[in-house]
Amino acid sequence: MVFFDPGNTSIPDISWERSHKIAKDLLQKRDQLWFIDIDTSVDIHEIQSYVESVQSDFDSVVILGIGWSALGTRALLESLYGKYYNEITDKKWKNIYVLDNIDPETFSDIQQIIDVTRTLFVFISKSWGTIETLTEYIYFRDICRKSISNWEKHFCFIVGENCSMKYPLEEDFKVFYIPENIGGRFSVFTAVWILPLAFTGANISGFLQWITESKEQLLSSDLEKNTALQIAHTQLKYYREWKNICVFFPYSSRLFQVWEWYKQLMWESIWKSGEWITLTSALWVTDQHSQLQLFQDGPNDKLYVTLWIQSHENNFNISEEIVDFSFSDLLEIEKYGTITSLKNEERPVCDILLKKLDEKNIAELLYTLMFQIAYLWELMQINAFDQPWVEKSKIITKQKLRAEIWEIDMFQKAFYD
């Protein structure tokens, strides 16, 4: 379960009518916001069948995507299996790498550790107009063509239902689809994340079941029951009180990538129309040695939200001589010292509590955070599901490409080559 503890903050004292209206307004948009019912629109059997059919053919899986398609996959893999999941010797899955940049060093690094003849490449782009992903495909296609006779079997695509390249792709490759009404950063538990997880043997059907079990609570108009609504109200209250920076710090290195994903979810959804909530993150206890001076003695313009695991599956006593004192005990004491020092300086601190670090709780956490953003949208009365300035950047990039390259449709031509 995911719980919210307001700490020394306070949830705004709003009327039942106001809370009910916010939940009702979101519910009325259900047909537009398909992420709410994603548990009923993913074909688990198709994904499982595909993974089983290719499992023995590959030693490595390379995920190629930019932004949400990479951030979410990395967040799930690290939170469930740790930062060193590829180095686990007795793991049941293949090596999974996330390629999320187009700098030459990234391409050099990945090619030093994979054998393309034993690698599956998974390309993710909802529109299939993402320049970075398109060029990655062209690059690895040309490499694989030279050394693999049936190279098409090494390529898999995840695209939007209305993707312009849909039919050409279907002719040669395995293709999975993202429902058109689900925005990229809200595509948790579509094939974008479920497919990589399926290669690890995770309980992917359980993920969707746990979403179903959480849905009633997250759609509730009862503020005391709805964790997402509580977080949204608290965040907005302190933003309105000039705490326009929200600092998230998890007390587990496994959860740091969750906040990297959440930053995009927040920034592209809320940072618009004059609303400026800036989200930053710090890993505790690591960053209490590098950022705490700023947090305690700097401007009082921040709301602090910790993520705390109540029960650690793996725990270790620090010494055989100190049998009743573990690393989790030390972590809790350090958390107490940090949080108390912040509260003593009248810095607002609240907690998101995760019962334990497992598939069920991670599923509920991610689902809760998406609902929280949706409720912020209702509270701020802005559209959380577009990203106009990102699109403007893409337009400028394509204009520059057309100015620099005499063949305007070079990438599209190369795709069909």
Give the pLDDT confidence of 250-305 residue by residue, as tens digits.
989 999 999 888 888 887 777 655 666 788 888 888 888 889 889 988 999 999 99
The residue that leads in pLDDT, 342 or 11, is 342
Say which DSSP state 37 is in.
G
Rounded to two decimals, the pTM is 0.87
Same domain, 239 and 330: yes
Find the mean pLDDT for residues 191-207.
89
Domain carrying residue 326: 2-28+206-388
d(CA 289, CA 284): 9
d(CA 389, CA 57): 42
Same domain, 120 and 238: no
Same domain, 185 and 126: yes
Same domain, 362 and 225: yes
Which spans in 251-321 are helix H?
Answer: 256-270, 292-297
pLDDT, tens only, 125-144:
887 777 888 889 989 999 99
Residue 248, SS3 per DSSP? strand
The residue that leads in pLDDT, 283 or 155, is 155
d(CA 196, CA 198): 5
Find the mean pLDDT for residues 28-52.
83
Say which DSSP state 33 is in.
-
Same domain, 11 and 52: no
Same domain, 177 and 92: yes
Count: domains in the chain? 3
CATH number at residue 214: 3.40.50.10490
Same domain, 215 and 95: no
Same domain, 108 and 167: yes
pLDDT at 315 over 70: yes
Same domain, 382 and 402: no
Domain boundary among the residues 138, 173, 203 is at: 203
Instruction: Supply angle C-alpha 173, 178, 181, rounded to 5.
Output: 150
Same domain, 197 and 224: no
Q: What's the one-letter identity of residue 168?
A: P
d(CA 190, CA 160): 11
- Phi and psi dihedrals of 245, rounded to 5? -115, 125
State the virtual CA torsion across 406, 408, 410, 415 in degrees, nearest 10. -170
Same domain, 355 and 411: no
Domain boundary among the residues 171, 203, 235 is at: 203
Instruction: Supply angle C-alpha 368, 186, 29, rounded to 5.
Output: 80
Same domain, 137 and 267: no
